[in-house]
Structure 1
Amino acid sequence: MKRTAVLIIAAIVCYSGAGEHISNRDVLYTKDGEEFRGELKEITAEIIEFLTADSSLIFTREDVVSIEFGKQRPGDWWRTVDDIDDELLLKVIGYMPDPEDYAGENYIILFDAHEITVGLDGSIKHIHREISQVYTEGGKDRVALHELYYFPDIERTEIIHARSISPDGRVLHLDDTAIERGPINAYNPDYDRRTILKYALGEVATGGVTDIAERIVRTKTEPLEPYAEFFYFRDEAPVLHRELIVRVEAGAPFNFEEVNWPANWPRFKIRDEGPFTVFTWTVEDIPPIISEALMPPRAKFTPMIAISVGPDWDSIATEFLVSLKEADDYPAIADEIVKRIIKGKKKPAEKAAAIYNWVVEKIRYVDVPASEYSFKPRKLSAILKNQYANDLDRTFLFYALAHRAGIDANFVFASDHREYFDRKTPSLFSATNPVIKINLDTDTVWAELSSEYRPLGVLPEMIMGEEAVVFSESKANITRLPLPAPDREQIEETISAEIDKNGDLKGTLRARYFGNRQREIRGFKQVSDEEIRRAMEERASEIHPNAVLEECELNNIEKLEKIPELTIEFRVKNYALTTDKLLVFQLPGLDYSTWGIGKSSREWPVWFDSPFRGVHKIEIELPKGYRVYHIPNDTLVSADSVSYSANFEVEKRELIFSDDYSRERLSFPPEMYPVFQDSRRVQAAISSSWIVLQKE
């Protein structure tokens, strides 16, 4: 890569003599009710001069009611590149790369730095600065739009500066009117805590540079007010320079881990700086992440530094178990509910299922995760009174009722596919998903209560196979959640059909859904008959684009202990191509494709959130006077953790097709990509193969 000294600074030659850029930082209000946004230029005993984007306005002091002054930020007085006195910014824009070296990129990150200061008192200061250059229209939003999330009761945020430098040398500053703060969960005041700060740079131009700096200051960090950050070092864009500096005051509980760190990348440097120990990571010329189909979550492959501030997992367990006791205020109604729910149930497994079903059916789910509100559960009496709860409070309610029923259960926090979990960096922000571990005599059952569509024992796809921390008796035990067998995450489909001599097809599809696949059909219990009809018409069109829905029926979608089923009766006019002696058609209801395998090789693994099994059986009654002339060959592809088989049979006047696709693992490394390709190609070939019937 070559760097060039043909600077954006040179553009000032073309820009000299151009007018000033006026921000909308200040607001002037007149006694006539008018409002002007711009900048105050001068105020005297008689007049006020106010600059707007269009003109310079003169007011008498009597005409002005008030002036609101916007925040002055470092460098706000710069109007052109010649005014810049920030040495770092001048250095960065003075040696920018040749855009030809990054052809096809939307933008490039010229400089990115995070500086963290960890205090002994639990305070944390985080400053982030990023300088980028835009290459295309597609890169503008990424460098112009910024968001900061925080908890306003323990954190405060500040935009230190935000500006863009146009290709002609102008320096354009953030307008206060482009800043917005607000809650992200205002729709539910009981869980309204996390806040967002959003701002947008104006007039970001192709070829221009953006420079932003932000600060977040946290006043305290505790086991249940955790702090953890995950700094990714590769991005969707090239990065010329990225660094992380962490200053840790002596005695502060700081933990870190280098994750997915390439062997040829520089390791951290450490030095003493007064009462602080300073850790520094610096990497330059980082290539972009090239997107691929079916990519794993970033935490699974991207080089990053994981840090946490706080005690070990045992201390976190102690604090959390105390919070459970404090939240259980022993409302009398809880005992009454338990007695009613488990009446007639003898075995612990039956009692657990009854309590689980009651909680997910009776307590409305509030989609505000604990990580966006609090890791301390609300009072049990409040949850029962309100009849709604988020994931943590729903889980706590189940936990409290289960203990009243004599069920041995532990509270668990699980990581998910998007999170990084490591024993060396303990924090509930690395395991944000509350789960219950039910300890039966001969088995362990897991309960995750964020959905009314999953039966007891079915974990969400996002946490399958992930690590989790189990709290028991003030101790934390690290375990790994089970990865179910493919047939626990299965869809079975059977089509019984008949085709006549005119090529018309009519048939019945019957489907059964297991595990998380049940949500796509159980959700219909909350919609109208008209909406169900429209959805079933769409489902029929997946069998064939010209399929007409005759009848549909949904069974067992209310009771979680039963397997939900779907039945569709359909017909398709002119399904087969016809000649005087032949009927030619493809199998109905198969829609396999080669999507995701177009590349000859991969850099990243192929990723799925869960195991899966798909089973089809298609029985087609042949028209009288016809026999099977051609059917595809049987096929079998089998390798480590993935297999596909397809079989054709003819019995009397019936064509019978069956296939079975099974995928056991979540991740297929690049070296297994050819096996995955073979499986997809074989499936697609079966789906597109022709069956030929010949008149006898």
Structure 2
Amino acid sequence: MRKVLIILLIFLSLCSTQRIKKEKLWREDIIYTNEGEKYKCEILEITEDSIYAVTELGLVAFFRKDLISFDIAKKRREGLWVTSEDITDSLLKEALAIDMPGYEQMAYVNIWTKKKLTILTDSSYIYSIRIIRKVMLEKGRGAGTIIVNYRKNDEEIVISFARTVTDDGRVLHLREAAIEDISIYSQFPPYENLHERKFTMREVRLGNILDFNVIVSGKITDESPYIMDVTLGDSTPTLSGMIEVVAPRDFELSWQQWRIETPEIRRGYGIKILQWRVDDLPPLMLESDSVPPPYILPRVVVGLADGWGKVVRRFRENLRGDYTPKAISPQEIYEEVLSFVRFVEVPSFTISSYPKNIKEIENNCIANSLDKAHLLYAAFRNAGYPVDLILVRSKERGVVALNVPSLFQFDGALVAVGETFLDPSSEDNPYGWVRPKYQGTKGLSIKRKGFVTIPSKKME
């Protein structure tokens, strides 16, 4: 019996417009098992005890103890493509053949966009994004500069490929020198986790096709309860787009969608697949005072099933430490905490879903919204005031997906003393003032174990 745990089968999907028929992967890595079996595959991830790879059977997890060895090809076959005649990827070949009348005035056009989440049986996840786009005007050169964010301490990122097919048939592959990795919050060491992987594709010019695929992998845990929260579309048209989730069949999922049809759900050998599709998505026209994209574009949020009550209970269990204020009145306590540690604008989901220990916050002398709210919450609680801690989400990120319980949805926190909401972030925030980014939004009350509406209030 093969000592291989088959987790998922990869289904090749048809685009409803028939513009893009299917996706085919070349597999040149090789895995050798103790039983003498040889698998040609594409290795996606290597962990301490397992190797995840795409084989003809689908996505498979090999236990390393059951393997003799494995070989990773020095060059993927795609890396050997020199001209368009060498291309074997059916998606890219069909994209090259598409005629696009009517789009001549667009900077570029997304021919195909696919955002995919694969959840494995050990709750590891692989998120990938593939985009094929064509440059229509010289002002579309920015289409070749790609930025993907990831959490360096929790995730790994791989650029599977990034290639330009020129109008005269040359295939130009990404150069190592064109890749940058930047720490977004390096100036705040206690909160240094979010990075951006940036790369610039070659010869982004009129008539050229750009094709890239990026993979981000990690593991869903209590401290990092990852969910996929994505939109389709941008400032240019999208001809065909898909959001796909693949998970073990016995895993319960929760999801919510906006401005897109409900998913097609299929079940295979031990897996289930959810697919959302869009076609002919118009460009998003943004003005300086316009509504943020998550309120306009098709949006899907997916995660492992949970309950808000359980989420709150785990959060409360991770509130550690005490702080006894010197001040007595609520306003004086607020002002004491506000001046005690300096605020840094770092979203909480980029670090941890739980606040730091009070002692660590004091020692750091800086705190993001969640940690500073935790400090103020502890101060009011020790002073004997009725207090509540409320987790909040910025307006620009879209509304909270109430059907998908997860702390990963929030980026900050407020404190409520009686009926007064406090935003202990900037040292200039008046008592009772909440920043506009949170006014009118839904916040998760730790005390009530449910949602409350953050009041709107004009600055006096």
The question of a shared fold, defined as TM-score above 0.5 by the shorter chain, is answered with: yes
> What is the rounded CA distance, in whole Å, between the counterparts of 2:306 and 2:266 in structure 1?
23
Structure 2 residues not aligned, in runs of 5+:
1-16, 20-72
Matches within 5 A, 1:625-644: none
Q: Quick one: structure 1 residues 71 and 183, their matched pair in 2 at CA, closer, same or farther if it must change by over 3 Å?
A: farther
Alignment-derived partner of residue 22 in structure 2: none
Match of 1:77 among 65, 77, 80: 80
- Contact 2:348/2:410 (8 A) holds in 1: no
Matches within 5 A, 1:424-463: 424-439=403-418, 444-463=419-438
Alignment-derived partner of residue 405 in structure 1: 383
> What is the rounded CA distance, in whole Å, between the counterparts of 1:458 and 1:71 in structure 2?
58
Alignment-derived partner of residue 263 in structure 2: 268
> What is the rounded CA distance, in whole Å, between the counterparts of 2:370 and 2:263 in structure 1?
37
Higher helix share: 1
Alignment-derived partner of residue 471 in structure 1: 446
> What is the rounded CA distance, in whole Å, between the counterparts of 1:190 and 1:478 in structure 2?
30
Match of 1:395 among 373, 378, 382: 373
Alignment-derived partner of residue 107 in structure 1: 108
Alignment-derived partner of residue 311 in structure 1: 306
1:270-290 per-residue CA deviation (whole Å, 9 max, x = no partner) reads: 111111111111221111123
Moved more, 354-363 or 207-216: 354-363
Q: CA deviation at 1:411?
A: 1.2
Aligned residue type for 2:454: L
> What is the rounded CA distance, in whole Å, between the counterparts of 1:85 and 1:232 in structure 2?
29
1:608-649 per-residue CA deviation (whole Å, 9 max, x = no partner) reads: xxxxxxxxxxxxxxxxxxxxxxxxxxxxxxxxxxxxxxxxxx
SS in 1 for 2:446: strand
Alignment-derived partner of residue 384 in structure 1: 362
Matched, 1:288 2:283: yes
> What is the rounded CA distance, in whole Å, between the counterparts of 1:133 and 1:417 in structure 2?
32
> What is the rounded CA distance, in whole Å, between the counterparts of 1:407 and 1:120 in structure 2?
45
Choose between structure 1 and 2 for higher RCO, CA contacts under 8 A separated by at least 6 residues.
2
Aligned residue type for 1:456: Y
- Contact 2:190/2:364 (8 A) holds in 1: no
* TM-score under structure 1 length normalisation: 0.54
- Contact 1:371/1:429 (8 A) holds in 2: yes
Matches within 5 A, 1:230-629: 230-261=229-260, 266-292=261-287, 294-324=289-319, 327-328=320-321, 330=322, 334-335=323-324, 338=325, 340-342=326-328, 351-418=329-396, 419-439=398-418, 444-472=419-447, 476-484=449-457, 488-489=458-459, 514=460
Q: CA deviation at 1:71?
A: 6.5
Q: CA deviation at 1:76?
A: 0.8
- Contact 2:349/2:410 (8 A) holds in 1: no
1:461-502 per-residue CA deviation (whole Å, 9 max, x = no partner) reads: 011111111012xx6211111123xxx33xxxxxxxxxxxxx
Aligned residue type for 1:361: S
Q: Quick one: structure 1 residues 386 and 130, their matched pair in 2 at CA, closer, same or farther if it must change by over 3 Å?
A: closer
Q: Quick one: structure 1 residues 388 and 153, their matched pair in 2 at CA, closer, same or farther if it must change by over 3 Å?
A: closer
Please say which structure displays the higher CA radius of gyration.
1
Q: CA deviation at 1:353?
A: 1.1
> What is the rounded CA distance, in whole Å, between the counterparts of 1:352 and 1:74 in structure 2?
66
- Contact 1:259/1:306 (8 A) holds in 2: no
Aligned residue type for 2:400: F
* TM-score under structure 2 length normalisation: 0.80
Alignment-derived partner of residue 211 in structure 1: 211
Q: Quick one: structure 1 residues 291 and 363, their matched pair in 2 at CA, closer, same or farther if it must change by over 3 Å?
A: closer
Aligned identity (percent) is 24
Q: CA deviation at 1:153?
A: 3.0
Alignment-derived partner of residue 200 in structure 1: 200
Alignment-derived partner of residue 221 in structure 2: 222
Q: Quick one: structure 1 residues 412 and 80, their matched pair in 2 at CA, closer, same or farther if it must change by over 3 Å?
A: same
- Contact 2:342/2:427 (8 A) holds in 1: no
Matches within 5 A, 1:681-696: none
Alignment-derived partner of residue 629 in structure 1: none
1:139-198 per-residue CA deviation (whole Å, 9 max, x = no partner) reads: 111x21112222233311111110001111111000011112242222122211222211
SS in 2 for 1:242: strand
Q: Quick one: structure 1 residues 185 and 73, their matched pair in 2 at CA, closer, same or farther if it must change by over 3 Å?
A: farther
Q: Quick one: structure 1 residues 370 and 431, their matched pair in 2 at CA, closer, same or farther if it must change by over 3 Å?
A: closer
Q: CA deviation at 1:362?
A: 2.5
Q: CA deviation at 1:104?
A: 2.1
> What is the rounded CA distance, in whole Å, between the counterparts of 1:181 and 1:225 in structure 2?
22
Q: CA deviation at 1:427?
A: 2.0
Q: Quick one: structure 1 residues 275 and 389, their matched pair in 2 at CA, closer, same or farther if it must change by over 3 Å?
A: same
Aligned residue type for 1:414: V
SS in 2 for 1:314: helix
> What is the rounded CA distance, in whole Å, between the counterparts of 2:357 and 2:332 in structure 1?
22
1:488-536 per-residue CA deviation (whole Å, 9 max, x = no partner) reads: 33xxxxxxxxxxxxxxxxxxxxxxxx2xxxxxxxxxxxxxxxxxxxxxx
> What is the rounded CA distance, in whole Å, between the counterparts of 1:96 and 1:201 in structure 2?
23
Match of 2:98 among 95, 99, 102: 95
Q: Quick one: structure 1 residues 359 and 120, their matched pair in 2 at CA, closer, same or farther if it must change by over 3 Å?
A: same
Q: How many residues align?
A: 390
> What is the rounded CA distance, in whole Å, between the counterparts of 1:106 and 1:405 in structure 2?
59
Q: Quick one: structure 1 residues 194 and 291, their matched pair in 2 at CA, closer, same or farther if it must change by over 3 Å?
A: closer
Q: CA deviation at 1:368?
A: 2.0
Q: Quick one: structure 1 residues 386 and 422, their matched pair in 2 at CA, closer, same or farther if it must change by over 3 Å?
A: closer
SS in 2 for 1:206: coil
Aligned residue type for 1:237: T
